[in-house]
Structure 1
Amino acid sequence: MLSNSKILPVLLALWTGVITACFFSLYTDISQLYILGATVIVFVLTYLLYYLVFEHLIFTEIHKLYTLLTKVKKKDYELTKGELVKVEDPLSRLHEEIVDFASRKEQEITELKKLETFRREFLADVSHELKTPIFAAQGFIHTLIDGAIEDEGVRDKFLTKAANNLDSLNVLVEDLLTISQLEIGEIKMQCQNFDIHRLAEDIFEQLEETAGRRGVKLRFHKHTPRSCYIYADKYRIGQVLTNLIVNGIKYGKERGNITVSFNYQNDYVFVSVQDDGPGIESRHLNRIFERFYRVEKSRSKDKGGTGLGLAIVKHILEAHDSKIYVSSIMGEGTIFSFKLRKGKVINEKG
């Protein structure tokens, strides 16, 4: 390429000089010395012009493109976009396109690496979560098979424990199916107008016994309206509220309070679920909605749960074009909040 960039301008300049000399020779009144001088000047100027064009505007750019393509061929997508200049000439635009292509490929590779890491972690977590109830139930049943079934007291106790572990396994599988279906969009939100205040009251009644065992009071904020209509999937929002309230019962303060509030703001209803428990450290707040993530390794194990509740909450709200927010102060409690579209008030008497 280097030899071509120098030889080609010489040949073109020489050809231009010859044409110039032939042109001036047509005039008989022009001296040979003048023709020679003009030819030399045209040759030199033409050579410099061609050399500049080929060397700096063509061959240099082609060399850059060749270098970029070599990197792309070697799957080296870490190219510098800062060197680009926004110009209209085709070579520079092609240069820009290659760099842009390489940047997109680099982003895709980074995302694929993240997904691969996530997949490995997810498989490890699922295997661990499934192993615990399966091995526990297996141990109880094998103990009964080995002869303990003859003891009525041991038999009933072990069968109950095996059944509890299998129930936990069933809940885990159902939660895994739910979150998988939500992620791929298989579950569609069946939106309707309904009173979320009444829905929360029903959930309070369902969880009254669970909350009572820890002395936790379920209540509404004093400024919450007696009725509050939203437009959403009633069943799925029920899941969201249930998961958040159950989470507060398990990890909040014993003999504490869980406060639910609804507030109208323009075309939305802002919902919050607050506990007065020990709080969550800030380093955990960005990760608590990940599947199987545990603030404390033993928390969910000791208090039940699949580790998928908050992940399901996140996906359900995203399907409603919303987002879950969390704020927490150590020693004071945690607040989960989100917004939903305001619904039309239904006249249930009519």
Structure 2
Amino acid sequence: MSISFKKSYKFAVKSAFYITLFATGFVAILLYFFLEINYLFLAVFTFAIFLFSFFVLQFRVEKFIYKRVKKIYDDVSLLDSTTLRNQPITTDMATLTLDVQKFAREKKIEIEMLKVREEYRREFLGNVSHELKTPLFTVQGYLSTLLDGAMNDKSIRKKYLERAEKGVERLINIVKDLDMISKLETGDQNLNFTKFNIVDVVQNVFDLLEMKADEKSIMLMFDMKYTKPIYVHADQEKIEQVLTNLIMNSVKYGKEKGTTEVSIENLTNNKVIVRVTDNGEGIESHNVPRLFERFFRVDKSGSRSEGGSGLGLSIVKHIIEAHHEKIYVESKYGFGSEFSFTLEKAK
């Protein structure tokens, strides 16, 4: 790639000035002591020595110094530095130094970001392999037992096949969730925006999870009686999934005989905020920033016993961000948590 020069003459001008000053002074002293001072001669000599010094210095700088500097720019440009590619090289050393320092800072930041991404990638791959390995080994174990002779017992055969089916369902859910996150991140998951009543959607989720909540005697309720519909503009199916994931989590990690409360409030003239609040075990403050990471679990052992793909909150975050909305979390360990997100009001 060819890199152009933006010439600067500061170095040559200053250097020529100093050489001229010295040469003129030296010649003037010689004339004073040995000959008669001729001011016309001194003026011509000064002008000539300045021009000669300037052109020689500028030529030498461009030919030998900046030729090598240009080679350095060409080399580092292979590292895809947009700053160095889009701007011409200057022969001003101060500007050159600033350019190189800026390039070094950018590369340092880029290297740090790559290290963070590599660490995230390594952790993510480890989590994926662990999540897939558990149901795979479960299915393999039941099938191997059946093939080893347990298939002849009808009751055992049915029980083991049902358990193997659950393992396969968990694998399918993990793959589906990963596929959804991938599509949301790349923008391939198209959202179907419609006008709908968010109160009805919350009630549908309550009805869906009622039996699950009854197992722990957890009450699903609104903060008040909503007599009028609250219409929002969003993808109804995706928002229902968001509410299902959030309410399911509050039930899963809630206390026996606890509550999960949903409130819908006006935030601005064109926004509402939906809050899902519980009085469960809460989340320790150092875990809150990582809640929306894929496969991140606050309780590594207990949460796996509850099942799930470990991708629920990550999907929630991606769906809300795909709507260009915000999601928030507040939690006090031992007292409960509140997840909230904004939605656009329907006109």
What's the TM-score, normalizing by structure 2? 0.77
**DSSP-derived class of the 1:260 partner:** strand
Q: Paired residue for 1:129?
A: 131
Q: Paired residue for 2:234?
A: 232
Letter in 1 for 2:205: I
- CA pair 223-155 structure 1, distance change in 2 beyond 3 A: closer
1:244 to 243, 246, 252: 246
Q: Paired residue for 1:39?
A: 42
Letter in 1 for 2:242: V
How far has the Cα of 1:123 moved from its partner? 1.2
Gaps of 5+ in 2: 1-10, 29-33, 80-89
- CA pair 68-272 structure 1, distance change in 2 beyond 3 A: farther
- CA pair 36-323 structure 1, distance change in 2 beyond 3 A: same
Q: Paired residue for 1:335?
A: 338
Map Cα deviations across residues 35-58 of structure 1 (whole Å, 9 max, x no partner): 1797399759x88xx79xx79xx8
Letter in 1 for 2:247: I
Residues in 2 aligned to 1:159 and 1:168: alpha-carbon distance in whole angstroms: 14
Letter in 1 for 2:303: S
How far has the Cα of 1:223 moved from its partner? 6.8
**DSSP-derived class of the 1:33 partner:** coil
Residues in 1 aligned to 2:285 and 2:127: alpha-carbon distance in whole angstroms: 23
How far has the Cα of 1:151 moved from its partner? 1.4
Residues in 2 aligned to 1:223 and 1:281: alpha-carbon distance in whole angstroms: 32
| 2:283 corresponds to 1:271 | no
For 1:1-350, list aligned pairs within 5 A: 9=16, 13=20, 33-35=36-38, 39=42, 69=72, 91=92, 92-222=94-224, 226-264=228-266, 265-344=268-347
**DSSP-derived class of the 1:200 partner:** helix
- CA pair 281-99 structure 1, distance change in 2 beyond 3 A: same
Map Cα deviations across residues 219-256 of structure 1 (whole Å, 9 max, x no partner): 11127564211111111111100000000000011111
Residues in 2 aligned to 1:166 and 1:69: alpha-carbon distance in whole angstroms: 57
- CA pair 283-41 structure 1, distance change in 2 beyond 3 A: farther
Residues in 2 aligned to 1:188 and 1:95: alpha-carbon distance in whole angstroms: 48
Residues in 2 aligned to 1:40 and 1:329: alpha-carbon distance in whole angstroms: 85
**DSSP-derived class of the 1:173 partner:** helix
- CA pair 291-37 structure 1, distance change in 2 beyond 3 A: same
**DSSP-derived class of the 1:291 partner:** coil
Residues in 2 aligned to 1:339 and 1:10: alpha-carbon distance in whole angstroms: 68
- 306-315 vs 155-164, which deviates more? 155-164
- CA pair 341-182 structure 1, distance change in 2 beyond 3 A: same
How far has the Cα of 1:190 moved from its partner? 1.4
Map Cα deviations across residues 147-182 of structure 1 (whole Å, 9 max, x no partner): 011112221221111111111111111111111111
Residues in 1 aligned to 2:252 and 2:340: alpha-carbon distance in whole angstroms: 18
**DSSP-derived class of the 2:115 partner:** helix
Residues in 2 aligned to 1:309 and 1:317: alpha-carbon distance in whole angstroms: 12
Residues in 2 aligned to 1:270 and 1:36: alpha-carbon distance in whole angstroms: 87
Contact 1:224 1:261 in 2 (8 A): no
What's the TM-score, normalizing by structure 1? 0.77
Letter in 1 for 2:222: F
- 233-242 vs 89-98, which deviates more? 89-98
Map Cα deviations across residues 1-22 of structure 1 (whole Å, 9 max, x no partner): xxx98xx74996399859x99x
- CA pair 238-90 structure 1, distance change in 2 beyond 3 A: farther
Residues in 2 aligned to 1:328 and 1:222: alpha-carbon distance in whole angstroms: 22
Residues in 2 aligned to 1:336 and 1:165: alpha-carbon distance in whole angstroms: 30
Q: Paired residue for 1:26?
A: none
Letter in 1 for 2:327: I
Contact 1:289 1:310 in 2 (8 A): yes
Aligned residue pair count: 310
